[in-house]
Amino acid sequence: METANVEYNEQEAMETSMKMMSIRPSSSFSSVDSINEEEPRPPHEALFLALAYLPLFELLAMSVVCLSLRDAVNKDILPWLNIIVDRPLNRRLSDEILMKITSKANGRLTTLALINCVRITNAGLQRVIEKNPFIKKLYIPGCTGLSPQGVIEAVEKLSENDHTLEILHISGVYNITKEHLRTLHSHLKLNSSRQNEQKRQPILYHKARHYPVLVNRENDHSIDVEICPSCSEVRMVFDCSKQLCKGKPPARCCRGCYHCIPRCAECGGCIQPEEMEDAVCNDMLCSDCWLQLPKCNLCNKPYCRQHANLGSNSSCSSGFICDICQYQNQKCYSEEFLN
């Protein structure tokens, strides 16, 4: 019951941030004795131009800053043509909230990016697409509430009336088969020039794992998954960033999914068993990248750069203490205190 109340409060907070807010004047401004108080100034014009490029969380936050920004967010359609839902809202986004957010585009939504939105269902995505049939870029990686058939139905809807869906990212959607992939390719209607352009653009592991999605990248692949040459499963297939591997013949090429070929979280290169190093965050590193990263003062393990903020500064002049060592130290101190 308590968990349900927490989820309800989180959804209510998201909905409240999108509504009109009453701005009350501060008591300092209403006082007669307040002299020489500087008048509030309107936001810089550059802020209004940046609204269209903000992820959803930042966009909603801007709507409660002041009246002019609130009106720009709620009344201007431009910020809602490209909707990007990432952390921290992705885990709380439901079908109902997504429908309310996308309705602000008035049917003109062109980009929808739902990054790891696990609560979005097939029915919820279909309702959004029915109201916004002109979506050109659909990013739904890690949306585990969607099924392959639900993705196909969404793509079929977006392919009606000679409309072409340009980009579809579905990595992390479970149980996609080769037949599903062929069906998706047939609906995307890729032209040969775009396919040839994509073949020249490698997919590197250390770059692909860094979301949020950059919706304006020109070298985005139309579909981010393909058949792995090693295991024949439908997954993201990565190229190797090492210069030595780029010149290998196809038969010896280290191109494959992450399950088949371990890769460094820093450089994206393939890792041989003898050069595999561990990070505190459980990511794998090659020896060269491991040597270059700062190490924990106690366990001598580094974080990858993506998780570097998890380390705590130590009392020493340099270095840090990782969260695992910090937890173990606190546990030891607690046991000594109790004993």
Tell me the per-residue pLDDT of 213-228, one tens digit each, with 9 for 90 and over. Answer: 554 455 567 899 999 9
- Residue 179, CA distances (Å) to 149, 176, 300 in order: 11, 8, 47
pLDDT computed for residue 25 by the predictor:
42
For the chain, give every residue range classified as CATH 3.80.10.
80-190+199-239
- Residue 69, CA distances (Å) to 16, 46, 120 in order: 16, 12, 29
**Rama region for 15: left / alpha / beta (φ>0; ψ in -120 to 50; rest):** alpha
* Token pair 């060269």: residue: 288
Over range 192-204, report the average pLDDT: 60
pLDDT of 1 > 70? The answer is no
- Among the CATH numbers 1.10.10, 1.10.287, 1.10.8, 3.80.10, which is that of 80-190+199-239? 3.80.10
pLDDT of 64 > 50? The answer is yes
Triad 38, 43, 47: Cα angle to 5°: 155
pLDDT of 170 > 90? The answer is yes
> 333: pLDDT confidence band, cut at 50, 70 and 90?
confident
pLDDT computed for residue 49 by the predictor:
86
> 76: pLDDT confidence band, cut at 50, 70 and 90?
confident
> Other CB atoms closer than 10 Å to residue 52's CB: what's the count?
14
Over range 199-223, report the average pLDDT: 68
> Other CB atoms closer than 10 Å to residue 143's CB: what's the count?
25
pLDDT computed for residue 23 by the predictor:
38
- Angle between helical axes of 122-131 and 148-158 (0-180°, round to 10): 10
Instruction: Return the DSSP state at 158.
Output: H
Over range 7-19, report the average pLDDT: 52
pLDDT computed for residue 251 by the predictor:
54
pLDDT computed for residue 263 by the predictor:
92
> 11: pLDDT confidence band, cut at 50, 70 and 90?
low
pLDDT computed for residue 114 by the predictor:
94
Q: Which of 4-18, 90-104, 298-312 has the lowest mean pLDDT?
A: 4-18
pLDDT of 108 > 90? The answer is yes
- Angle between helical axes of 122-131 and 95-102 (0-180°, round to 10): 10
> 339: pLDDT confidence band, cut at 50, 70 and 90?
low
Over range 298-317, report the average pLDDT: 74
| Sign of the alpha-carbon torsion through 306, 307, 309, 314 | negative
Cα–Cα distance for residue pair 151/149, rounded to 1 Å = 5
- Token pair belonging to 195: 């396919």
- Token pair belonging to 219: 């070298």
pLDDT computed for residue 219 by the predictor:
53
In degrees and rounded to multiples of 5, residue 64 shows phi and psi of -110, 10
pLDDT of 295 > 80? The answer is yes
Q: Which of 98-102, 116-120, 281-285 has the lowest mean pLDDT?
A: 281-285
- If residue 72 lies in a helix (H) or strand (E), which one and from where to where? helix 67-75
Q: What share of the chain has pLDDT > 70, as a percent?
A: 76
Could you give the 3-state DSSP secondary structure of residue 324? helix
Over range 195-220, report the average pLDDT: 63
Residue 312's beta-bridge partner residues? 321
Give 309 or 80, the one with higher predicted confidence.
80
Query: In terms of Cα–Cα distance, which of 90, 82, 86 is closest to 110?
Result: 82
